[in-house]
Structure formats: C-alpha cells, structure tokens
Structure 1
Amino acid sequence: MIKLHATKKLYEKLPLNEHGLLPSAPSSELLSEQSSLPDNPLSGWHGNLVTFQRRNCVLLAHDATRFPLVLLNLTKPDLAQLNYYFEDIFMNTLLKCGAEPRHLDAAQQLLHPLQVDSRTSRSELSTLNRMKIEIDCQVDYGGLDIAEMTGYALSARMADVCRSIKGADYIFPWEEMRALLEKYAGGKR
C-alpha cells in the first residue's frame, strides 16, 4: 500500500472503508494485483482538498522528496476513483519531467493502491500550503483556466521549484524523485 496522510477536509470527502482503502474499481484493478512491498519507498504522501476557480482540486506531495501532484477539476465520483487519478497524474508528471523508461518502469512497479489516514505533519502541510499559494498566483496573474487543464504540466512545473524540508537543505523535488526511482531501477544506465 501507499500511505496517504490526508487533511481532515480531504479525508471526510473520500469514501473509505474501515481500513482506509478506497472502493475497488475496474480502472485501478492492476494496482491491486501488484505484489506487495514491505517498505515501499513511494509510500508517504500528504494530500489536501483545495478550490481553484470554484473547482475541487487535490494537492499531493511526497513526504521524502516533496514531489508534487496537482489533481484538477475533481467531482465527488472522481474522489472515489482517487487510485486511478493518482496513478495517472504520477506517471504523466514523470513523463513531463523527462523521466527515462527505466524510471517509469520503476515507478510502475512501486505503484500500489492508496491507504488513507488523517495523521498529518506540519512540515508537509506547509509544503502543500506553499503549493496552493504558488498555483493561486499562476492562476490569478498567469491567466490560467483550471477547467481547461489536466494538471500534468502544472505538476511538472511545480516539481522544479526548490522546496525545504525541516532539518535539511533545500531540495528540488524532481531531482529527489528521480534519485529515488534510480535506486529502485538498480542504477542502470
């Protein structure tokens, strides 16, 4: 499973079972068939439900790398399909960032269904708040229309923004995620 620590606002909107899992759906069956990893390096995300231009959006950030994902224009049925949308935005953002085939293969092997809880960390929530402010600025001053976007390019652009991690230096999320995937890909070149 991939742990997702959701804010109260997002947690209450998700149709979770008693184990924090989303309902199974045909669109995410392949994720459930993957063999389980005891210590998945892709696990550990924080998520928040926000509104841009009166549309529900979910911001996600990987705890270790601060790699951002921006899910735009979500409806209530879309939230029930969050496993599918997570896989879609993650893989497509990697493509937009310039991931090589070995990184995409490693990412695909690491992807599993989300297991959601409501335990959050202030440091990761700070990253999500900064992301929201940065997107607000791009929407307001850049003339972006959220209704016409998928979020892939926006997520990739946000992955090239320097982030801070409590007790560490500043990092670039895409570089960190690429290094994580490179380790899992066996460092093949």
Structure 2
Amino acid sequence: MQPAGEFSSWHANLLRIDRRKCVLFTHDKTLYSFFVAGLTKPHFENIREFFRQNLFKSLVAETLPQKHIEIFLDDIREIEIAKTNNRSVLGSMNDLTFQLKYRIAYEGGLLNTDITKLIHDLNRIPMSAIEEIYSIYELRKLLETRLGLTCIQTHQAIRIGQYLKRLKEADNNER
C-alpha cells in the first residue's frame, strides 16, 4: 500500500492463523506494525477504509497525542495498492510474523490472545533494519520531526540504540 504523503508506504501480509484470515500491516520507514485478525470478504472489498480504521485504533492504543494521529491519517488519505519492492521490509515482516505466531500459540490461540497487547509488544521488539531500537520510537521520531518537537522517550531510545551499537562494535573488534 502506498499513500502519497510523507509517511511513505505500507506493506500488508496476509496470514492464516487458527483457520482465520489475518493481516499484518507494516510501515516501510519505521517498521511500525499492527495486526488484524478474522478478516472476511467485506473487509477485503473495503481494505483502504479497513486499514485506516485499524491504524487509528492502533495509534490510539499506543497513546500517541491526537495531533500526531491526525497528521498521520491526513497523510494517508489516498492509498494505492501495488506489489512490494522492499526486501528489507519483507524480511522484517517475516521476523514479526514468526514472533506473532509464536505469541499467539503461547497464549493458546487467537481467541485467548489480547491483540492490543500483542501489537504493543510487537512494536517493542528490537529491529536492526531501523535507526531506533524499537519501531514505536522510530514512528514517534518521524511524527515529532514533522511537528518540530522532541520527546524524552525518543532520546532515551536513541541512547539505548547507540549503546547497543557500541557493544556490537566492541564485540566485533574483540574477534
């Protein structure tokens, strides 16, 4: 999915979990992801609106300020659906899919899984394909940059990411 605005593009991956159709949506630049289970034919017929509604729910659950959510949703008013061309994002989505399926199985299936908590946790898995350590911090940073703001959480995430990068470099130098 490719919106025309600043927030680049999204990937959608159709999954089957517990005999239900599910979709994992992932933002290319930030790897921010949200998961929706139990899709039916009407959902697919109106996938653009379905995407926007579930993105809104996901951003609200992340307790993002309303101004941030409005800016994000305004930027994705028009969505084009096209084939993917970003192997890095697909690799990250494969990892997220593995994490998601494991967590759902661990919880005892989709019916026993708190999807909101699952999405919250998915966006706090360290991802090496982005500058920040967690996709939620990368998303916040993108929104704050657009608004010309800074956030303590963003700066903390940068410091954690820099620390982990230095540890990795030190480990490589020892070898």
For the aligned pair, the TM-score class normalised by the smaller chain equals 0.7 to 0.9
CA RMSD of aligned residues (A): 2.4
C-alpha distance 176-123 of structure 1, shift in aligned 2 (>3 A): same
Deviations 1:54-108 (A, max 9, x none): 1011111111100002121111221111112211121111111121122122223
The 10-residue stretch of structure 1 (118-127 or 66-75) with the greater mean CA deviation from structure 2: 118-127
C-alpha distance 124-184 of structure 1, shift in aligned 2 (>3 A): same
Tell me which stretches of 4 or more aligned residues in structure 1 moved more than 6 Å: none
1:3 aligns with 2:37: no
Q: In the alignment, which residue of structure 2 is the partner of 1:126?
A: 91
1:112 aligns with 2:112: no
Q: Pairwise mapping of residues 25-174 of structure 1 onto structure 2 (< 5 A)? A: 40-146=5-111, 151-165=115-129, 169=131, 171-174=133-136
TM-superposed deviation, 1:149:
6.4
Q: Which TM-score applies when normalising by structure 1?
A: 0.70
Asked if the contact 2:8–2:29 (Cα under 8 Å) also holds between the matched residues in 1, the reply is: no
Distance 2:145 2:132 in 1: 21
Identify, as 1 or 2, the structure richer in helix.
2
Deviations 1:117-172 (A, max 9, x none): 113322111111111111111111122424x768443222211111121xx65631
Distance 1:112 1:42 in 2: 11
C-alpha distance 108-122 of structure 1, shift in aligned 2 (>3 A): closer
Q: Which TM-score applies when normalising by structure 2?
A: 0.75
Query: Paired residues, what number?
Result: 151
Asked if the contact 2:25–2:34 (Cα under 8 Å) also holds between the matched residues in 1, the reply is: yes
Asked if the contact 2:104–2:113 (Cα under 8 Å) also holds between the matched residues in 1, the reply is: no
Letter in 2 for 1:176: E
| Structure 1 residue ranges without an equivalent (≥5) | 5-36
Q: Quick one: higher RCO (CA 8 Å, sep 6+), 1 or 2? A: 1
